[in-house]
Chains A and B, each alone.
Chain A
Amino acid sequence: MSVERDVMEYDVVVVGAGPAGLAAAIRLKQKAERAGQALSVCVVEKGSEVGAHILSGAVFEPRALAELIPDWKEKGAPLITEVLRDEVYFFGEKRAFRMPNAFVPKTMHNRGNYIISLGKLVRWLGSQAEALGVEIYPGFAAQEVVIEDGVVRGVQIGDMGIARDGHHKDSYTPGMQLRAKYTFFAEGCRGHLGKRLIAHYRLDEGRDPQHYAIGLKELWRVPQPQHQPGLVLHGAGWPLDKDNPGGSFLYHLEDQQVAVGLIVDLSYSNPYLSPFDEFQRFKLHPVIRKHLEGGERLAYGARAIVKGGLHALPKLAFPGGVLIGDDAGTLNFSKIKGSHTAMKSGMLAAEAAAEALLAGGAGGDELAGYTEKFKASWLYDELYRSRNFGAALHKFGPVLGGALTYLEENWLKGRAPWTLRDRRRDHECLQPAARARKIQYPKPDGKLTFDKLSSVFLSSTNHEEDQPVHLVLADPSIPIEKNLPLYDEPAQRYCPAGVYEVVDEDGSKRFQINAQNCVHCKTCDIKDPAQNITWIAPEGGGGPNYAAM
């Protein structure tokens, strides 16, 4: 169906208003201002507003922010609670071993960092960007990459007003085409356009497969006497284990707020594992529950985390475009921090693009400058030093893996002469249900632990009802005919929002997709053992409405 589409041209189009995208946009404008020239920059964001889809712990390292906006404090950046104390635990079901600070790898020390709401910081970055003249358009989802003669020329914004069966409703509004000399892809972990670009340009050739985790988080308001602002708690062990690894966090921010979460590695092997239920029961641990008791749960959310590090990092630049932030995979897993690295990568790409454009370049080429700057930066250095962390944990488990990291970081100062590789893809790790151990999760108590739907309720998630389902099955028969007998269709459990259900109907089984609940975490795209599910962007403006996550 050919439809007339509006076209707008910019010097740079950025897909995604997260830390990488906004840092890049700000840097572009700064470079232009310094050169006394103009660069037009447009940021499109699928969330209903900037910050709506941002979710992170977060303990934030201000290094990149200080480079980007040195007077961030005067300008009111929401970095309020400084880290005062780090605690690292190894949990058993009822007990906990607290690791003495001397044995904690350097990467887990947080002096000089801040406990923040990344959503609030991103909103602040957004207002800084707008003040510099960046055009930001929330509520619009980039649906396709525009590639002409092998060169990325921009993105196609999705059409709105298409009914579930595909026909055009009265409200049908065709999406605009945004063209640019360079397009920056900053969609975060497992961006749907990034995924296509990596395949199209073979950006992952020669690299290790990318690895992921799912992070689930809740924000609580706790009674004043329990509130210890500045406390950073990290844990490993229960409720997870060597074959189903992960870690936990609990941070005290300002305003009597506590962020608590569980990170479950998506290389887990037990198909009966439910990351959501692991998170819920984790909160019952005596060490954790005493922080939350008597408090009120304010918000819930979940997001996949990219953790493959340097060896899984794809080629970053291709004709007319670049990958920045977690769309590339810049998160430093040994620190479990990705915000400062995302920002830095955005800034490096911006500097390279600005130099090319301000010198009169027409764009459309492969920004070698970005790759060079990246290799010469502290970002590369950081990723290099922690390159073995993920693989160490996968190969040796949390205790030995952690010990190895301690050795590498604290004693060898990151210059380990060896490199560990992890070649198994996450979706290949599930063992068959017949051989797996079923897990009995406790029922939610409604005080500390809750059910999935009540949790999704607190993410303020909404999608336009009558639209095509944005979770696309290549083969609709696979869930019931293959995944169900082999793995008891783990989608029912790995989705943190209850999107996927196996429903009994008149003696037969049906795979139900409740697309409305989707919190845009991307876990299904990653973990489906058949790689049968592709997440594409639903109509712009839909998804969670995280207030301060």
Chain B
Amino acid sequence: MKVLVSVKRVVDYNVRIQVKPDGSGVMTEGVKMSMNPFDEIAMEEAVRLREKGKVTEIVAVTVGGAKCEETLRTALAFGADRAVHVKEEGEVQPLTVAKALAAVFKKEDARLFLLGKQAIDDDANQTGQMVAGLLELPQATFASRIELDGTGAKVTREVDAGLETLEVDLPAVVTTDLRLNEPRYLKLPDIMKAKKKPIEAVTLAELGVTPGAALKTLKTVPPPKRSKGVMLKTVDELVSALKAKGLV
């Protein structure tokens, strides 16, 4: 079974982001970039499924500029057999990304599409669902457990009410949540081998994708600072204050 895993290059989760004072966005120049942590979980899951014998080929894909090749090399070091780089510089919004990924999924004739539930930069949480909608495939989002058998998958999802289990026919789209697995450490020999694995470059045009109308970002600001509240003197005052706000 072939699995397609989509990965995204984002600002590393350890970096304290700075908002540019002119409101034009977040400082990303010179800042450390890494694979989106939820996509690492998707890569890890694909590799575990292969170790269990359920999956035979793993293809990694990314949509982004030239520097995104680093992220594909990381995916190859994880264990992807080969990678596809949909080359497009600049911001690409989820709908366009989804159209590109849908085209790649069809071209690869894969059975399972794994990706993170959201990217930690734009926090959109849309791409996986959009690919499923475009291809009219089943979707199982926020997965915390995946069981594959030949024709279908049983996926447990983290929802507000608890853990929901769905059965989906393959091919299907599954987006990963935090508790699905803990990604392994990349081994130096695998990083070395990844340099030699093949990466195929394609453009949006070659995939037959025209970017859709995009959201325009008018300005970006830091969140409002919390200000100092009220200092109370007794427990009774606190209890009244909380009751007044309907919190207790």
Contact = CB atoms under 8 A, between A and B. Distances in A.
Interface of A: 6, 8, 48-49, 52, 119-120, 123, 135, 137, 139-140, 157, 160-161, 170-171, 173, 175-176, 221, 296, 298, 457-458, 460-462, 545, 547-548
A121 B21 CA distance: 25
Given A48-B32, A548-B30, A176 B15 contact: no
Nearest to B187: A173
Contacts of A137: 188, 191
B30 A120 contact: yes
B24 to A, nearest CB: 14
Given A8-B192, A140-B188, A171-B184, A52 B32 contact: yes
Contact of B32 (A140, A160, A547): A547
A460 B32 CA distance: 10
- 7 closest Cβ pairs, A-B complex: A160-B185, A173-B185, A462-B14, A176-B188, A6-B189, A548-B30, A460-B15
Contacts of A48: 12, 14, 32
A547 B189 contact: no
Interface in B182-222: 182, 184-189, 191-192
B75 to A, nearest CB: 16
B16 A460 contact: yes
29 contacts: A6-B188, A8-B188, A8-B189, A48-B14, A52-B32, A119-B30, A120-B30, A135-B192, A137-B191, A140-B188, A160-B185, A161-B185, A170-B182, A171-B184, A171-B185, A175-B188, A176-B187, A296-B21, A298-B18, A457-B16, A460-B16, A460-B32, A461-B14, A462-B14, A545-B12, A545-B14, A545-B15, A547-B15, A547-B30
Interface in B111-169: none
A174 to B, nearest CB: 9
Given A8-B189, A157-B188, A161-B185, A547 B21 contact: no
A221 B21 CA distance: 10
Most-contacted residue by chain A among B12, B15, B187, B188 (CB, 10 A): B188
Most-contacted residue by chain B among A170, A175, A460 (CB, 10 A): A460
A171 B30 contact: no
B31 interface: yes
A83 B182 CA distance: 49
B36 to A, nearest CB: 16
Nearest to B184: A171
Given A8-B189, A123-B30, 9 more contacts: A8-B192, A48-B14, A119-B30, A135-B192, A139-B186, A161-B185, A176-B188, A460-B14, A545-B32
Contacts of A175: 188
Interface in B4-51: 12, 14-16, 18, 21, 30-32
A240 B135 CA distance: 69
A282 B184 CA distance: 45
A458 B185 CA distance: 26
Most-contacted residue by chain A among B15, B16, B186 (CB, 10 A): B16
Contact of A171 (B32, B182, B189): B182
A173 B30 contact: no
Contacts of A460: 14-16, 32
A253 to B, nearest CB: 13
Nearest to A461: B14
A175 B189 CA distance: 10
Given A296-B21, A460-B15, A547 B188 contact: no
Contacts of B192: 8, 135
Nearest to A170: B182
Given A221-B21, A296-B21, A460-B16, A547 B185 contact: no
A548 B27 CA distance: 12
B15 A173 contact: no
A173 B18 contact: no
Contacts of A160: 185
Contacts of A171: 182, 184-185
A176 B191 CA distance: 12
Nearest to B17: A460
A126 to B, nearest CB: 13
Contacts of B15: 460, 545, 547
Contacts of B185: 160-161, 171, 173
Contacts of A547: 15, 30-32
Contacts of A161: 185
A407 B16 CA distance: 47
B29 to A, nearest CB: 9
B44 to A, nearest CB: 10
A157 B186 CA distance: 13
Contacts of B182: 170-171
Given A457-B16, A462-B14, A176 B30 contact: no
A175 B186 CA distance: 10
Most-contacted residue by chain A among B185, B189, B192 (CB, 10 A): B185
A541 to B, nearest CB: 9
Nearest to A49: B32
A298 B187 CA distance: 34
A327 to B, nearest CB: 22
A548 B186 CA distance: 26
A363 to B, nearest CB: 21
Nearest to B44: A171
Nearest to A78: B30
Contacts of B188: 6, 8, 137, 140, 157, 175-176
A298 B29 CA distance: 14
A170 B185 CA distance: 10
A139 B30 CA distance: 17
A170 B16 CA distance: 30
Contacts of B191: 137
Nearest to B34: A48
A462 B16 CA distance: 11
B187 A6 contact: yes
Nearest to B70: A49
Contacts of A548: 30
A191 to B, nearest CB: 20
A139 to B, nearest CB: 8
A140 B188 CA distance: 8
Interface in B169-191: 182, 184-189, 191
Nearest to A458: B16
Contacts of B18: 298
Contacts of A461: 14
Contacts of B186: 139
Nearest to A137: B188
A78 B30 CA distance: 12
Contacts of A52: 32
A548 B185 CA distance: 26
A173 B184 contact: yes
Nearest to B183: A171
B26 to A, nearest CB: 12
A482 B186 CA distance: 43
Given A171-B184, A545-B32, A176 B12 contact: no
A48 B31 CA distance: 12
